[in-house]
Amino acid sequence: MKIYLDQREDPRVEAILRSWVEVERRRLPLGDMATDHCIVERKSYSDYVASLVDGRLFDQAARMTESEKVCFIVIHNDFKEPPVQRQVTDAQIYGSMAALVVENAIPVVFIPNIYNALYCAYKILEKVEQGKYLKPRHLRKPSHSKAPWIVRKVAQLFDIPYKTAAQLLLKYGSIENIMKADDLTSVPGIGTLRAHRIKTILCKDYRKSSSSSSSSRR
């Protein structure tokens, strides 16, 4: 097996990985480590906090959700553990990790020691390539046949509960108004990650992403 490591990655990461597996440097469009079927986004704790504050985390999560590959996020402490200048609380940090797992279906692994974290990332990539990845079992949702047609469609489009879809429509009235809204997090059941995903579904110009992917294949 070979792991593709992003060209921008720290040389120390490559040195550690090479003790277990063959590594090839290349520019990755998503994630820091990848194989043919799996992507791992590696984040030091300070980088995770910074990406949460500046919004990069939500954009990365949205793109990982759209990827055809199995995606994971592995978090560890920094090499020298500098003090983290935080603008967020512990509740927001760990709440965002929970949101990644529940709302975006992206497994998050937090291992303080970087050596152990990288070994875990390597084993994740290896096991996925061996075909051992099992997709999470989707819980059967209760029937809501009595819900209005538009509520069912909004819930299906945004992959949110019927109750949350109804709250969105009660506040904004229509999908068009939802698209124009500046802040969806005022609606009960809509957190930051879920709001970002809804906006991505409604507002992203997929012609650009499809054209860029087509040009990259030429």
Can you give the residue ranges of every domain in the chain? Answer: 2-129, 149-213
> Bridge-partner residues for 2, per DSSP?
22
Radius of gyration for the chain, computed over Cα atoms and rounded to the nearest angstrom: 19
The pLDDT tens digits for 120-173 are 999 999 999 999 887 655 545 555 556 788 888 888 888 888 888 999 999 999
CATH assignment, 2-129: 3.40.50.10130
Per cent of the chain over pLDDT 90 is: 47
CATH assignment, 149-213: 1.10.150.20
The pLDDT tens digits for 55-109 are 889 889 888 988 889 999 999 987 665 555 567 888 889 999 999 998 888 999 9
What is the secondary structure of 180-214 as a DSSP string? H-S-GGGSTT--HHHHHHHHHHHH--HHHHHHHHH
Question: Is this structure's pTM higher than 0.75?
Answer: no
The whole-number pLDDT of residue 218 equals 46
Neighbours of 143 (CB within 10 A): 7
What does residue 77 show for φ and ψ, rounded to 5 degrees? -75, 165
